[in-house]
Amino acid sequence: MTELAPYAVSEHNTRGRIVHEEAPHGRSEFQRDRDRIIHSGAFRRLEYKTQVFVNHEGDLFRTRLTHSIEVAQIARSIARRLHLNEDIAEAISLAHDLGHTPFGHAGQDALNACMKAYGGFEHNLQSLRVVDLLEERYAAFDGLNLCFETREGILKHCSADNAAQLGELGERFLHDRSPSLEAQIANLADEIAYNNHDVDDGLRSGLITLEQLATVPLVATHLKEVRDAYPELPERRVVHETVRRMINTLVSDLIQQSERNIGTRGLNTIEDVRNAPALIAFNPEVNEQQLALKKFLRTHLYRHYLVMRMSAKAQRIIGDLFNIFMADSRLLPPQMQPQANQTESDRARTVADYIAGMTDRYAIREHRRIFAVEEMPVSF
Ligand code: MG
């Protein structure tokens, strides 16, 4: 690794772990965080969770696992070029979606609606809950006992109410301070990854076309370049070559603009980072272009009627499961059974943890096991 900038997250300025542990041998604290995330059960389940398309709809579509790996790749490249800590950028990227429900945003909206009377459901907060509490792998503590800066990066957004309950970790939301530059990178790497892979997956699915996309400036520029340079190129390769160039442009622009922002601000320490506004950013013109692409995807892909039908089904499955487990908690598997003295709100949180942890196909199967009349006697 190249030498770190003085304002990068490092082992010298970390606020450490909640439960004290000996320093790791042969790897850094943040490499240890990354390794713990990769070995977690929640990380493996990302393989069977929807990004946009339900997991079994096609073998080539992104899942949350491949999405998270793409985010980590982009974040590491950017961190390295800015002399920031690649390892923590990677750890945050790999963990950022651990709390996602099955069925993507439709699943999150459905679970949030179910949890309305019990404090709501927010996937960012759930990712933190997974690494702080829900993973049961270590003898000495619940969760993964990650470093403060990794947990801070995972908690991208947070309401003031929730922030007030999170102690040190919630402070920045109450006092309008920034997270580390590495956390800011992971956040924007997420956007770069999904905007671009959703173009690719959307085209592959046939729900959007290249002609439609040619109305979006960011796509149009690169599409024209590719078609001019390679007039005979088959359509699939035109798509890959165009998307590749889009990612390159966004990553290069982000690096240049962020370098300028950091230079102007004259940072010396990580405290300077926390006191500054967000410094990892696109230049305004590229930002416009990337927002236009985002808007296009929302209108033409995420709200496509076939995606909406899938979302409606997903909401039905999640709503049904939540309601029946709340009505009769004896239907929950033994390890999820609430304690006798739990309040209704605690019980709802346990049910939400159980549902959020499900993969798409597990949720579908669980729904069938409980509701399908043709599944008599009950299957396992
Ligand atoms: Mg993501």
Q: Where are the domains of the chain?
A: 29-306
Residues facing 50 on adjacent strands: 63
* Residue 266 neighbours by CB distance under 10 Å: 8
Residues in Cβ contact with 234 at an 8 Å cutoff, skipping those fewer than 6 apart: none
Q: How far apart are the first and last CA of the chain?
A: 49
Sign of torsion over alpha carbons 134, 62, 217, 73: positive
The pTM (predicted TM-score) of the whole model is: 0.95
Burial classification of residue 135, based on how many CB atoms lie within 10 Å of its CB (0-12 exposed, 13-18 middle, 19 or more buried): buried
Q: What CA–CA distances, in Å, run from 318 to 73, 75, 376?
A: 32, 32, 22
**What separation in Å is there between the alpha carbon of 194 and the centre of ligand 1?**
7
**What separation in Å is there between the alpha carbon of 186 and the centre of ligand 1?**
9
**What separation in Å is there between the alpha carbon of 8 and the centre of ligand 1?**
23
Q: Under the phi-then-psi rule, with left for phi > 0, alpha for psi from -120 to 50, and beta for the rest, what region is 336?
A: alpha
pLDDT at 380: 65
**What separation in Å is there between the alpha carbon of 362 and the centre of ligand 1?**
21
Q: Of 307, 319, 306, which Cα lies nearest the Cα of 371?
A: 319
Contact 111, 101 (CB under 8 A): yes
Q: What architecture is the 29-306 domain classified under in CATH? A: Orthogonal Bundle (1.10)
**What separation in Å is there between the alpha carbon of 140 and the centre of ligand 1?**
30
**What separation in Å is there between the alpha carbon of 153 and the centre of ligand 1?**
13
pLDDT at 55: 59
**What separation in Å is there between the alpha carbon of 249 and the centre of ligand 1?**
20
Contact 11, 29 (CB under 8 A): yes
d(CA 44, CA 102): 13
**What separation in Å is there between the alpha carbon of 330 and the centre of ligand 1?**
34
Nearest-5° angle of CA 218, CA 277, CA 151?
Answer: 90
Q: Which two tokens stand for residue 208?
A: 């959007």
d(CA 107, CA 195): 20
**What separation in Å is there between the alpha carbon of 309 and the centre of ligand 1?**
22
pLDDT at 137: 93
Sign of torsion over alpha carbons 170, 175, 180, 183: positive
pLDDT at 61: 82
**What separation in Å is there between the alpha carbon of 104 and the centre of ligand 1?**
10
**What separation in Å is there between the alpha carbon of 155 and the centre of ligand 1?**
12
CA 373 and chain centroid, separation: 36
Sign of torsion over alpha carbons 258, 264, 270, 271: negative
**What separation in Å is there between the alpha carbon of 68 and the centre of ligand 1?**
6
**What separation in Å is there between the alpha carbon of 71 and the centre of ligand 1?**
7
The residue written with tokens 């671009």 in the block is: 196
- What string of pLDDT tens digits covers the 380 residues of the chain? 568 999 999 999 999 999 999 999 999 999 999 999 999 999 999 999 987 776 566 677 889 999 999 999 999 999 999 999 999 999 999 999 999 999 988 999 999 999 999 999 999 999 999 999 999 999 999 999 999 999 999 999 888 888 999 989 999 999 999 999 999 999 999 999 999 999 999 999 899 999 999 999 999 999 999 999 999 999 999 999 999 999 999 999 999 999 999 999 999 999 999 999 999 999 999 999 999 999 999 999 999 998 899 889 999 999 999 999 999 999 999 988 878 788 999 999 999 999 999 999 999 999 999 998 877 766 66
Asked if the peptide bond before residue 377 counts as cis, ω within 30 degrees of 0, the response is yes
pLDDT at 158: 87
Residues in Cβ contact with 137 at an 8 Å cutoff, skipping those fewer than 6 apart: 39, 40, 41, 144
**What separation in Å is there between the alpha carbon of 282 and the centre of ligand 1?**
18
* Residue 202 neighbours by CB distance under 10 Å: 24
